[in-house]
């Protein structure tokens, strides 16, 4: 009884605080935003924005990105507005020119802090800059080169089960095809615990979205032990689920950290080999941190937080993108043949291709780029200005009342969705065929409209890894990993569709399922042995 009264009080307090805050936030400059076109909403209370975040949100996301222009108004709860932005100039302002103004929301920082600790995704400003400074060199080309053998050796092990005919998506990135964790964590048992923890989080994170939106307020409620008590008592299975996952991840990260630190300190060969010969990401990070000057060095807790974040940021993203590529190659058999030919030619039939050769294979590169362009795996990315601001547009847009809008005043705190997909498939940039998957478009020079639009993406004029100071730190790592896996898989196997219909589902990272009703993330393909 006492517990439920307490919960009720918390809930009331949170709603009151939220209402007060938002009433202050969204004010008179609102008339321009109200005039921006967007999909209809038939509820003032609920708005239409949750359709964007829904697991079946694919069609709604496409509708928003393709049918209303470069800036689209979405309705959030109680008449609040959100904007979906795919205009290159506006995106450039958000991610580069005024990067310190358009930050992640406080609720996002708070949820990342709860999930991983003080990691890159939980910090802003100078704190974030300091962390990036420590982490950037870990992802340098020379480290990637040294990591290549680790990639090859782990995939080779996993391809040995070639008697199997169905490639389960969930086995990509752990267990069966455990390549994806090895350059990070190495040890099998740890890898699986991590993998299980992260996989288990699959749907729960989206389900707790409602609570995540209040997290910054919740995080200020009383001392840490009280908050932990509230979380422990919280009567929601998804919240409990996320809590358990967080605990497991933290515990495992600490364990890896301790093991690696001891191994590196001892410099003992046998232990080092066990933990990845010191060439995996975690070891490089630990070494770089102990070599850094006092003022650059990150505290141990932050280092551990980065490890949890890296494992989680690296796995679902890369394995789902690989699944997408395999799905597309199974659909486009001639492309699969051409790609296999290119790979086999460069390896001359005797195994591992070097980093530099692999990186220069034009068709392999084109297939990766085109897949990331047409199917960006991450489409839920939000920024909100820290103060009242103005977003400039590449070209004026026509408001609902017929007036032209040249720039948009954005009240402090208005949530803006980064239109990764919308910008990646903009017809005036990529041409009339922008919605088609056509790797060939990367084999000749890109249209001038693309190169001249100053799209702020770090990678190939695409928004898939976004851009600016908070761009994906692992995009090169991910690209290399995909190329290695594809080169080994295509040299040995052929991929065909089965008669099961495959659907892609919106989540933090999009994932495939069989048909409408399945609850299991998987990508069944017919896998055959390739004999030259």
For ligand HEM, the binding residues (CB under 6 A) are: 120-121, 132, 309-310, 313-314, 317-318, 321, 377-378, 381, 464-466, 470, 472-474, 477-478
DSSP, res 169: G
Give me the DSSP letters along 402-464.
Answer: S-EEEEEEE-TT-EEEE-HHHHHT-HHHH-TTTTS--GGGGTSPPPHHHHHS----SBTTBST
Residue pair 383/416 in contact (Cβ under 8 Å)? The answer is yes
Q: Is 319 in the site for ligand NAG (CB under 6 A)?
A: no
Residue 180 interacts with which of ligand HEM, ligand NAG, none, CB < 5 to 8 Å by class: none
The annotated binding site is made up of 472
Residue 491 interacts with which of ligand HEM, ligand NAG, none, CB < 5 to 8 Å by class: ligand NAG
| Pairing, β 81-85 against β 415-418 | parallel
Residue pair 284/186 in contact (Cβ under 8 Å)? The answer is no
Residue 422: name the closest of 94, 85, 58, 91 by CA.
85
**One of 412, 428, 446, 498 touching ligand NAG (CB under 6 A):** 428
Residue 314 interacts with which of ligand NAG, ligand HEM, none, CB < 5 to 8 Å by class: ligand HEM
**One of 394, 437, 446, 500 touching ligand NAG (CB under 6 A):** 394
Of the two residues 143 and 340, which places its CB atom closer to ligand NAG in the complex?
A: 340
Residue 173: name the closest of 378, 283, 377, 317 by CA.
317
Residue 309 interacts with which of ligand HEM, ligand NAG, none, CB < 5 to 8 Å by class: ligand HEM
Q: Is 346 in the site for ligand NAG (CB under 6 A)?
A: no
Residue pair 120/309 in contact (Cβ under 8 Å)? The answer is yes
**One of 347, 382, 399, 446 touching ligand NAG (CB under 6 A):** 347
**One of 41, 159, 192, 498 touching ligand NAG (CB under 6 A):** 159
Residue pair 454/303 in contact (Cβ under 8 Å)? The answer is no
Q: Is 505 in the site for ligand NAG (CB under 6 A)?
A: yes
Distance CA 100, CA 97 (A): 8
Q: Is 487 in the site for ligand NAG (CB under 6 A)?
A: no
Of the two residues 131 and 513, which places its CB atom closer to ligand NAG in the complex?
A: 513
The annotated binding site for heme is made up of 472
Q: Is 456 in the site for ligand NAG (CB under 6 A)?
A: no
Of the two residues 109 and 495, which places its CB atom closer to ligand NAG in the complex?
A: 495
Start-to-end CA distance of the chain, whole Å, equals 71
The piece of 136-144, 296-304, 347-355, 407-415 that touches ligand NAG (CB under 6 A) is: 347-355
Residue 263 interacts with which of ligand NAG, ligand HEM, none, CB < 5 to 8 Å by class: none
Residue 432 interacts with which of ligand HEM, ligand NAG, none, CB < 5 to 8 Å by class: none
DSSP, res 353: P
Residue 395 interacts with which of ligand HEM, ligand NAG, none, CB < 5 to 8 Å by class: ligand NAG
Minimum CB separation from ligand NAG for residue 81, in Å?
18
**One of 513, 523, 525, 527 touching ligand NAG (CB under 6 A):** 513
In 35-187, alpha helices (H):
50-53, 58-67, 88-92, 106-116, 125-135, 141-159
Binding mask 54-93 for ligand NAG (x = CB under 6 A): -xx-x----------xx---------------xxx-----
Minimum CB separation from ligand HEM for residue 119, in Å?
7
Which residues, 6+ apart, have CB-to-CB distance to 250 below 8 Å?
117, 304, 308
Judge residue 130's burial from the number of C-beta atoms within 10 Å of its C-beta, 0-12 exposed, 13-18 middle, 19 or more buried. Answer: middle
Helix axes 475-492, 300-331, angle to 10 degrees: 40
Binding mask 396-425 for ligand NAG (x = CB under 6 A): --------------------------x---
Distance CA 122, CA 466 (A): 17
Report residue 396: phi and psi, to 5°: -60, 150
Residue 521 interacts with which of ligand NAG, ligand HEM, none, CB < 5 to 8 Å by class: ligand NAG
Minimum CB separation from ligand HEM for residue 149, in Å?
17
Q: Supply 307's token pair.
A: 């490890």
Query: Measured at the alpha carbon of residue 356, what is the angle toward residues 352 and 360, in degrees to the nearest 5?
Result: 105
Residue 379 interacts with which of ligand HEM, ligand NAG, none, CB < 5 to 8 Å by class: none
Residue 408: name the closest of 94, 51, 79, 19 by CA.
94
Which residues within the stretch 40-59 sit at the binding site for ligand NAG (CB under 6 A)?
55-56, 58
Which residues, 6+ apart, have CB-to-CB distance to 462 below 8 Å?
369, 372, 373, 376, 424, 455
Residue 88 interacts with which of ligand NAG, ligand HEM, none, CB < 5 to 8 Å by class: ligand NAG
Placement of tokens 């070097």 in the chain: 354
Q: Supply 293's token pair.
A: 């000057």
Residue 505 interacts with which of ligand NAG, ligand HEM, none, CB < 5 to 8 Å by class: ligand NAG
Name the CA dihedral angle for 500, 502, 503, 507, rounded to a multiple of 10 degrees. 120
Residue 461: name the closest of 369, 363, 394, 393 by CA.
369
Q: Is 435 in the site for ligand NAG (CB under 6 A)?
A: no
Minimum CB separation from ligand HEM for residue 417, in Å?
11
Minimum CB separation from ligand HEM for residue 379, in Å?
9
Q: Is 334 in the site for ligand NAG (CB under 6 A)?
A: no
Q: Is 192 in the site for ligand NAG (CB under 6 A)?
A: no
Residues forming contacts to ligand NAG in the complex (CB under 6 A) are 55-56, 58, 69-70, 86-88, 159-160, 200, 202-203, 347, 349, 351, 394-395, 422, 426, 428-429, 453, 491-492, 503, 505, 513, 516, 518-521
């Amino acid at each position: 009884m006492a517990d439920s009264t307490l919960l009720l009080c918390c809930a009331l307090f949170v709603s009151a605080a939220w209402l007060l805050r938002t009433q202050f936030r969204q004010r008179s400059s609102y008339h321009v935003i109200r005039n921006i076109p967007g999909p209809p909403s038939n509820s003032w209370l609920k708005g239409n924005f949750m359709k964007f975040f829904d697991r079946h949100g694919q069609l709604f996301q496409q509708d928003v990105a393709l049918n209303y222009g470069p800036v689209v108004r979405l309705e959030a709860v109680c008449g609040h507005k959100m904007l979906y932005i795919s205009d290159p100039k506006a995106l450039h302002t958000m991610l580069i020119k005024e990067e310190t103004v358009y930050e992640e929301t406080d609720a996002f920082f708070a949820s990342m802090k709860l999930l991983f600790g003080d990691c890159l995704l939980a910090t802003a400003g100078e704190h974030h800059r300091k962390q990036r400074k420590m982490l950037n060199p870990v992802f340098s080309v020379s480290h990637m080169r040294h990591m290549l053998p680790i990639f090859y050796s782990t995939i080779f092990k996993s391809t040995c089960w070639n008697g199997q005919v169905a490639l389960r998506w969930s086995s990509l990135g752990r267990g069966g095809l455990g390549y994806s964790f090895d350059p990070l964590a190495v040890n099998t048992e740890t890898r699986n615990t991590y993998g299980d923890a992260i996989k288990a989080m699959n749907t729960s994170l989206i389900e707790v979205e409602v609570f995540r939106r209040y997290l910054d307020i919740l995080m200020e409620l009383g001392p840490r032990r009280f908050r932990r008590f509230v979380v422990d008592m919280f009567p929601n299975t998804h919240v409990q689920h996320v809590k358990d996952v967080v605990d497991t991840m933290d515990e495992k990260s600490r364990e890896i950290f301790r093991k690696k630190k001891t191994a590196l300190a001892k410099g003992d060969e046998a232990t080092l080999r066990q933990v990845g010969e010191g060439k995996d990401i975690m070891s490089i990070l630990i070494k770089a941190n102990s070599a850094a000057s006092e003022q650059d060095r990150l505290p141990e807790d932050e280092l551990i937080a980065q490890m949890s974040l890296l494992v989680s940021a690296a796995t679902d993203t890369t394995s789902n993108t690989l699944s997408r590529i395999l799905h597309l190659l199974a659909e486009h058999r001639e492309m699969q043949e051409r790609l296999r030919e290119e790979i086999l030619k460069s390896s001359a039939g005797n195994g591992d291709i070097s980093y530099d050769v692999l990186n220069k294979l034009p068709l392999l590169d084109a297939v990766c780029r085109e897949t990331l362009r047409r199917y960006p795996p991450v489409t839920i990315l939000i920024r909100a200005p820290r103060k009242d601001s103005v977003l400039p547009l590449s070209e004026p847009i026509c408001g609902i009342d017929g007036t032209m809008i040249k720039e948009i005043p954005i009240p402090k705190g208005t949530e803006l969705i980064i239109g990764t997909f919308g910008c990646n498939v903009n017809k005036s940039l990529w041409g009339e065929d922008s919605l088609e998957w056509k790797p060939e478009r990367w084999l000749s020079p890109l249209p001038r409209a693309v190169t001249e639009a100053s799209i702020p993406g770090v990678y190939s004029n695409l928004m898939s890894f976004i851009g600016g100071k908070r761009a994906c730190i692992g995009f090169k790592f991910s690209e290399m990993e995909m190329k290695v896996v594809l080169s080994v898989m295509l040299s040995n196997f052929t991929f065909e569709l089965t008669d099961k219909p495959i659907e892609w589902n919106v989540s933090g990272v999009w994932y495939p399922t069989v048909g409408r009703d399945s609850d299991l993330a998987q990508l069944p393909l017919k896998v055959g042995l390739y004999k030259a």
